[in-house]
Structure 1
Amino acid sequence: MTPQRADRDPLGLALLAAAIGLLLLVGASGTSVAVPPLGPDGWAPPSLPWRLGGWTVVALQTTGYVLGGLSLWRHVRRPTPLRLRWWQLALLAALVLLTAPFGTADHTNYAAYGRILVEGGDPWSVVPADWRGGTDPVVDRVQHPWREATSVYGPVGTWLMGLAAWLGGEVARQVVWVWQVLVVAAWLGTRELLVRLGTHRPTVDRWWTTNVLVLGAGVLGAHVDTLAVCAMAAALGLGLAHRPLLAGLATGLAASTKLTAGVVGVALLWALLARSQNAHLPGEMRAPSAQDAHPPGEMRAPSAQDAHPPGEMRGGWRSRRPAASAVAPALRLIGGTLLVLVPAHLLIGAHALRRITEAGGGISYAMPWRAVYTALDLATSEPVARTATTWLAAGGCVLLAIALWRLTDGLTEVVAVRALFVLTTAYSLGAGYVLPWYELPQWLATAVLLGLLSAEGWRRFRPLLLLLVARSTVLALAYVPGRVQLPDDVETVTLGFRFVASPLATLAVWVALAVMYRRARTVWSGVTARP
């Protein structure tokens, strides 16, 4: 049964507009507990002629994320199309570029690493505090504790930081603004790539362009993850268009921007292997149906029941090749990826690669694994506790992926999209170190998956989508206002929420997924037991 849809939802649009407006106000208001100081503006856009107090900023950010989460929740419960016109999109992009990044001080790190690179240094071996005796006008803007940290970003991402530093010159605000232009271009580029994939524009604009969990955490925070996700979208599109070599090159660009973005290559390889076997992966066995006449990993032609589902995808991907051996395309995919990864990392050196891979051992306060790490740290040494917790988190991601694979069974025949959703969501829910902007790949995969759902698929997927929206909203709130150095009263409240509310919300999702998985297994057992 197709869910009821209204043509307009004034309340939902008001919630969304208010959410975006409040977050834009935080970024436009200059230095605050959410916006680190950047010094003179230079030729970059100036901030508004006032400064917001600490609790005012917290209230604005909190309200913005809550209203944004409610707008998504309302859309899931009462699906309505969101149609952005070109001038609305241009206005939103212009308003974003009138703000300064907020929520973290990561953009000061990006500016510093780019500056060190263009000045002839090695950002993977030189910490900002040691560069030119702490007198450089751009590098000196880095906040503690990152003044003592070298770059953990891939070569492509760092070279783009260098481009921003080269264009921005010796004024930190100018460097950051050029970086923001790159981020906004990637955000809009991802939107265009999603549309070219066949996802209906209202779905893209609802779940990517205006999604506050993307716009607030990723774009307004000017995070490198936004650039990596754009390359992921390109890789996914090229893979689905049967261009494995080009998809591999795009995967290499994604992974060379941020290593974890290489997961898109895993999803594409997964789809190729599934298609070559012409059978379902282990654990996905189900009774044959008429849809099974189509090769695994390929989308069947739209049928009448697929017309305008809540996910609103137009058309679809039709296989242009038979389900033959995937060895050759898999090798081209892997070869294309290595063609970017290997030379890029050889250029920066083994020490840089080691630094990039070492960055994966963090344990964030907002995840349940922090309690595990703390308990182990009391009983063992810190390195043992960290290593053990990292491996436990990896095992948790595997279990979550298994559950999500079962829960998404039958939602789409496009295996690459399903695999990307499963892998990115399992990481967001189960990794040891997760921050709000780390979820951008998950929302990319979610937007594409929603575009493929039939009415029945939407009905089945809706409970899981509601869980993800609620949990991601709590995670975003856990990093309000986001900076490390805060007034004591603000720090007490924000860290308390981060230490308690966010881990509990994630635990609740784990429990809910376990219950949903158990029910799915029970239903499946009942189906397969029939004569």
Structure 2
Amino acid sequence: MTLDAAAAPKNTTRDPRDGLGVLAPAAMGASVVLTLLIGALGPSAMVPALAGPSWEPPYSLGAGPDARLVIALAAAAILLGGAGLGAALHSRWRPDPRWLLAAGSAAAAVLAFLPPSGSADHLNYAAYGRLAALGHDPYAVTPAEVPADPVAGAVEEWAGVTSVYGPVATAVQALASLAAGDSVRLTVFGMALFNAAAFVGTALLVHRFTAGDEALQRRAALLWAANPLMIYHLSAGMHVDTLAVFCMVAALVAWRAGGRWRSLAATGLLLGAGIGVKLNAGLVALGPAWELRRSPARLAVVAGTATATVAVVYGLAGPHVLDQVGEASRKVSLGTPWQLVKRGLQELFGSGAYTVWIQLGSMTLLAVLAWLLLRALPAGRVPGAAGATGPAPGATGPAPEGDGSGLRGAAGAPAPAVAAVVVAAWLFAAPYALPWYDGLAFALLALASWPALELFMVARVTILSLGYLPAREALRPDDLLWLKTVVRQEVVPWSLLALTVALGWWAARAGARARRRPASAAPRP
């Protein structure tokens, strides 16, 4: 044995994070490729057919793949995406954030030219836009009332339902319809271009917000631009949530520009626009409100501008706009733990929806989770200004130094962190939730990195996504009924219940440790 060999350390165990660094890009890349393949194969159990000549976009091979094949491809895309993203966030892989931004943006651009997959929601959007373009009120007239129209008549599952989306979303849908006329394909393509622009625009804003800190910028790109689960749901699925996310991220970027009155007014305007897409996006407004609680004048500017924008948008559309939203708020989706509660109540007390009980329970859980998570916010720095610690707009003192996690303590937590906490708590507590709703939480976490909460969100969206294969129930093969009766109705809600309990337990312990740690013991960057 040589001297060098004898002097070598005996423990040569490789850091498991090195292996994750190899797994992460391979799994994430494979997930995105499978997502692209599902759309490229054309109409299937995962991809609704679009009427119109094949030379019009979006394009596909029209291969007519078997339902079992595309469902298997989707399941693989979800599992690989979740595993790859989790590994990337926990590994030593250090890609250039610009490459992640470019790759994710390229995938979103390509998907705009492929037919949407994962659900038939885009046919609803096209129909509501068509109704508005024809002079009908999509909040009072259903697509089923105009059955002869080629676009309105293409709706699959919600033909008898008026629009549940906000007036800003309807305006975008109507604009696409006006440009496309009575072509279903071109209407969907027009909306896909808006969707891709919103996805890429959000990625660019997140990249700019985290400029100056390569580690935060890399993590932000993983959470949004190159996130295979968000590409699967928001780019390939073309859900209207992408527009709401863009508005809310733009609002927080304007907010971080400084405490000038113009920036504050822009923040309020963009918050109002996001609420005009989907009402639940308004939870983000609690972030700026928290930071400005000691600055009434600035708070009044943001709140006043946002309120005025919402009043104008919804006022022009009419009060009946919220009718369908009220109906939706009383529903319980099969994949949430509240479905287990509903079934238990029905077994104990007889048939009934028990709507009020479930709504009260949901609001209580939301408040508890939000409180626990706020207490657990780690000390850290505010991202956004050359990666340096600094005061937030409207703050009354300097930001405390911390562990570089991108967050500050709850008493002075930056707007994105508080917004991320509230949105995450809402997603875990909501009786009705679909996997693409989680996009808002991922975008907010991209602005304010919190590794532990990010992994909980990755687990949540992966589990919930598996419960919606395929979302188009009518085209599911009979021998795959277990995907609904076993996976969606049993495995997913029980798994999410366990994950929610784990989140609460972890947050309670993290909050207790944070309270016991003396301020002088906080690690410094």
TM-score where L is the length of structure 2: 0.83
Give yes or no for the alignment of 1:229 onto 2:245: yes
Structure number with higher relative contact order (C-alpha < 8 Å, ≥ 6 residues apart): 1
Distance 1:368 1:8, change over 3 A: closer
The superposition leaves residues 5-40 of structure 1 with CA deviations (integer Å, 9 ceiling, x where unpaired) of 879944321111111000111111111111122222
1:115–1:138 CA contact under 8 A, matched in 2: yes
Distance 1:466 1:368, change over 3 A: same
Aligned to 2:495: 505
Alignment partners' CA distance in 2, 1:42 and 1:349: 40
Alignment partners' CA distance in 1, 2:514 and 2:245: 35
Question: 5 Å matches for 1:209-248?
Answer: 209-241=225-257, 242=259, 243-248=263-268
Distance 1:190 1:449, change over 3 A: same
What amino acid is the match of 1:106? D
Aligned to 2:318: 349
Q: Which SS does the other structure have where 2:224 is aligned?
A: helix
What amino acid is the match of 1:108? L
What amino acid is the match of 1:366? G
Q: Which SS does the other structure have where 1:343 is aligned?
A: helix
Question: 5 Å matches for 1:74-85?
Answer: 74-83=87-96, 84-85=98-99
Mark the runs of 5 or more structure 1 residues left unpaired by the alignment: 277-325, 451-460
User: Share of identical aligned residues, percent?
Assistant: 32
Distance 1:130 1:193, change over 3 A: same
Question: 5 Å matches for 1:107-122?
Answer: 107-122=122-137
Alignment partners' CA distance in 2, 1:484 and 1:49: 21
Q: 1:262 aligns with which of 260, 282, 285?
A: 282
1:61–1:480 CA contact under 8 A, matched in 2: yes
Question: 5 Å matches for 1:432-451?
Answer: 432-450=431-449
Q: CA deviation at 1:487?
A: 2.6
Number of matched pairs: 463
Distance 1:7 1:57, change over 3 A: closer
Aligned to 2:271: 251
What amino acid is the match of 2:32? I
The superposition leaves residues 40-88 of structure 1 with CA deviations (integer Å, 9 ceiling, x where unpaired) of 2462132114111111011100111111111112123214233344764
Q: CA RMSD in A?
A: 2.4
What amino acid is the match of 1:232? M
Aligned to 1:176: 188
2:330–2:355 CA contact under 8 A, matched in 1: yes
Point out the more displaced range, 345-354 or 122-131: 345-354
Distance 1:191 1:38, change over 3 A: same
Question: 5 Å matches for 1:132-531?
Answer: 134-144=147-157, 146-199=158-211, 200=214, 201-241=217-257, 242=259, 243-273=263-293, 276=294, 326-377=295-346, 379=349, 382=352, 385-411=354-380, 412-413=407-408, 414-450=413-449, 461-485=450-474, 486-520=476-510, 522-524=512-514, 526-527=516-517
Q: Which SS does the other structure have where 2:169 is aligned?
A: helix
Alignment partners' CA distance in 1, 2:435 and 2:23: 26
Alignment partners' CA distance in 2, 1:263 and 1:493: 32
Point out the more displaced range, 483-492 or 254-263: 483-492
Distance 1:522 1:160, change over 3 A: closer
Aligned to 1:294: none
Aligned to 1:71: 84
Alignment partners' CA distance in 2, 1:82 and 1:364: 38
The superposition leaves residues 231-275 of structure 1 with CA deviations (integer Å, 9 ceiling, x where unpaired) of 0001111122222211000000000011111122121111111xx
Alignment partners' CA distance in 2, 1:270 and 1:478: 35
Alignment partners' CA distance in 2, 1:346 and 1:466: 40
What amino acid is the match of 1:167? A
Alignment partners' CA distance in 2, 1:527 and 1:15: 39
What amino acid is the match of 2:495? A
What amino acid is the match of 2:141? V
Q: Which SS does the other structure have where 1:34 is aligned?
A: coil
Distance 1:122 1:31, change over 3 A: same
Alignment partners' CA distance in 2, 1:500 and 1:381: 20
Aligned to 2:393: none
1:478–1:494 CA contact under 8 A, matched in 2: yes
Distance 1:208 1:511, change over 3 A: same
Alignment partners' CA distance in 1, 2:322 and 2:102: 43
Alignment partners' CA distance in 1, 2:228 and 2:197: 17
1:116–1:123 CA contact under 8 A, matched in 2: yes
What amino acid is the match of 1:73? G
Alignment partners' CA distance in 2, 1:5 and 1:66: 19
What amino acid is the match of 1:421? A
Q: Which SS does the other structure have where 2:329 is aligned?
A: helix
Mark the runs of 5 or more structure 2 residues left unpaired by the alignment: 1-14, 381-406, 521-525
